[in-house]
A and B are shown apart, each in its own frame.
Chain A
């Protein structure tokens, strides 16, 4: 069962109208055999760029996220339906990511460059490209004769 997230940008509306629109969107999801897991309001604010939708240019939008399950075949229909909804400026359906656990490596990343493991690896990689140098095999770290 794939959980999807539906990201919606509604045009800025008064509250009763917004409630009706949200209800309509939810009804659409239900009508396609969907289950709504969560509804979130990410606030109303300026959009990063102006968007023209249904012949109107918008500069502000209300952000809403529906988390839902739906048969995969219905995704295309849903997008089609939302595209035709005049109150929706943008719509996008994502697969929900499960949170990934990662070890904290900040203390290592804060070290000076030569102590960082990634930098050491890079240096080792670069050393491989060095030209071979003649080795005198004298056991000395200097050349004992006059050059």
Chain B
């Protein structure tokens, strides 16, 4: 902001209130210190009256008059609006009544909301209950199914073991089993070739067996 001052050349003020020092400008006086009086040569100089052209004067006067009129009407308006005489008397009963009315209104709205939410909640709870009952039924069914499968598997296993038990080596069959094992060595080794032939036996000298493709 530049300001033309009385006996100073130029005054430069701080642009904005900020800690940004790029905006900080030094307030400079001219060559003449502030405490010196007016120069002797200029002491009794009388500055000539500014010569304003008539048209300019008329225009400025018109603008000034407009300004004064508008400001006056605004002042009158605000004075009228905020004058203590015009403020309504504070009525405590009226105030309390309005508070009560407001409360009743709010309560009514709140009750309406509660009513709606209650309906929604009942619907939701009923739906959830039905879902959980269905889930429980489904789980029970699955569990029974699993149990049944398990029982069937166990049954199959038991039947298989009963079937196998005919071949179990009991103490009285032991001698025969030992005799049989001694006379019949088993050899699980085998080899495969690219044609899918199986060569059984450890020494690879046995007949080859065709694999059924």
Residues of A within 8 A of B (CB): 1, 15, 18-19, 22-23, 26, 30, 35-43, 64, 106, 110
Contact = CB atoms under 8 A, between A and B. Distances in A.
A23 B168 contact: no
Contact of B169 (A1, A39, A41): A39
A36 B178 contact: no
Contacts of B181: 22, 39-41, 64
Contacts of A64: 181
A110 B169 CA distance: 45
Interface residues of B, number: 21
A36 B181 CA distance: 13
A39 B178 contact: yes
B187 interface: yes
Given A42-B187, A43-B185, A37 B178 contact: no
Interface in B144-167: 161, 164, 167
Contacts of A110: 194
Nearest to A65: B186
Contact of B182 (A18, A26, A30, A35): A18
B171 A30 contact: yes
Interface in B173-206: 174-175, 177-179, 181-182, 184-188, 194, 196, 202
Nearest to A45: B202
Nearest to B211: A104
Given A37-B167, A37-B169, A39-B169, A26 B187 contact: no
A1 B161 contact: yes
Contact of A36 (B169, B185, B187): B169
Interface string B121-165: 000000000000000000000000000000000000000010010
B164 A37 contact: yes
A41 B171 contact: no
